[in-house]
């Protein structure tokens, strides 16, 4: 593509790896309800909203709950998760992220967050990146979860850039689909055999540069 005019980053799995914290909290909840929840099961929750994650968990355990019970269970999971992320620091930023953000700043390319997480601002503050982002679009600002493009379209609008001039970084299938539905160039962070439909793939942000995107 031509030189990007803006970059949109997913949070969990792209900037930091919070999947293990999510996993432990969901597993504790599952165990309390009397069933197990494996790491393979946890893959299904990546990029998925909290409420939808709970629905998947209950489906795995073959457990039925009413809306009020679901609300209470989601709150219980979140309480444990929030406790876990309260000790995070900038050592948990994934390799190459700081350097790439620095390059974007040097090139005057604005960047925003596009995350499904309602805890995104807390995490960004914990890892000292909150003030680096030009806009933060997260689970608190959107009405439709990924794969709906809303989160990334809001990001492009906040940065006043056309969708086709934006690059999205995503580690979840739902997020890749959201980026493509928004009409953006999408870089998948992870295994191309698992993540389908991205325009480019990397394992770590250390492989990324503005030049690499521009040459594609």
What residue ranges bind ligand B16 (CB under 6 A)? 10-13, 22, 45-50, 53, 78, 115-119, 139, 172
Specify the residue, 96 or 139, whose C-beta has the smaller distance to ligand B16.
Answer: 139
Six-digit token string for 202: 């990397």
Q: Please give the Cα distance from 208 to 193 (Å, whole number).
A: 20
Q: Please give the Cα distance from 185 to 213 (Å, whole number).
A: 9
Residue 109 CB, shortest distance to ligand B16, in Å, is 21
In a 10 Å sphere around its CB, with 0-12 CB exposed, 13-18 middle and 19+ buried, how is residue 64 labelled?
exposed
- Phi/psi-derived region of residue 207, left when phi > 0, alpha when psi is between -120 and 50, beta in every other case: alpha
Residues labelled catalytic: 10, 12
Specify the residue, 33 or 84, whose C-beta has the smaller distance to Mg ion.
Answer: 84
Q: Please give the Cα distance from 126 to 120 (Å, whole number).
A: 10
For Mg ion, the binding residue among 13, 110, 114, 149 (CB under 5 A) is: 13
**Is 124 annotated for ligand binding?**
no
Can you name the residues that pair with 202 across neighbouring β-strands?
189
**Is 10 annotated for ligand binding?**
yes
| Residues making up the chain, counted from first to last | 216
Residue 84 CB, shortest distance to ligand B16, in Å, is 11
Which residue matches tokens 């030009």? 134
Cα–chain center distance at 6: 17
C-beta nearest to Mg ion: residue = 13
The stretch near Mg ion (CB under 5 A) out of 39-47, 66-74, 89-97, 193-201 is 39-47
Does residue 172 bind Mg ion (CB under 5 A)? yes
Annotated binding residues, written as ranges, equal 10-12, 26, 45-50, 53, 77, 115-119, 146, 170-171
**Binding site listing for substrate:** 10-12, 26, 45-50, 53, 77, 115-119, 146
Q: State the residues that interact with Mg ion by CB under 5 A.
A: 10, 12-13, 47, 171-172
């Amino acid at each position: 593509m031509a030189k990007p005019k803006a970059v949109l980053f997913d949070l969990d799995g792209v900037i930091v790896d919070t999947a293990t914290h999510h996993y432990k909290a969901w597993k504790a909840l599952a165990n309390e309800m009397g069933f197990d929840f494996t790491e393979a099961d946890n893959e299904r929750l990546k990029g998925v909203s909290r409420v939808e994650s709970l629905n998947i968990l209950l489906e795995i355990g073959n457990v039925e709950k009413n809306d009020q019970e679901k609300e209470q269970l989601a709150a219980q999971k979140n309480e444990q998760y929030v406790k876990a992320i309260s000790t995070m620091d900038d050592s948990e930023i994934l390799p190459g992220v700081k350097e790439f953000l620095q390059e974007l700043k040097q090139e005057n390319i604005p960047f925003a967050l596009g995350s499904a997480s309602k805890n995104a601002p807390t995490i960004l503050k914990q890892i000292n990146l909150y003030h680096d982002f030009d806009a933060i679009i997260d689970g608190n600002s959107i009405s439709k979860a990924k794969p709906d493009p809303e989160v990334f379209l809001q990001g492009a609008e906040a940065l006043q850039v056309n969708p086709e001039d934006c690059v999205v970084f995503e580690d979840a299938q739902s997020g890749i689909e959201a980026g493509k539905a928004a009409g953006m160039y999408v870089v998948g962070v992870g295994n191309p055999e698992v993540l389908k439909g991205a325009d480019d793939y990397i394992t770590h942000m250390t492989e990324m540069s503005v030049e690499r995107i521009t040459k594609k």
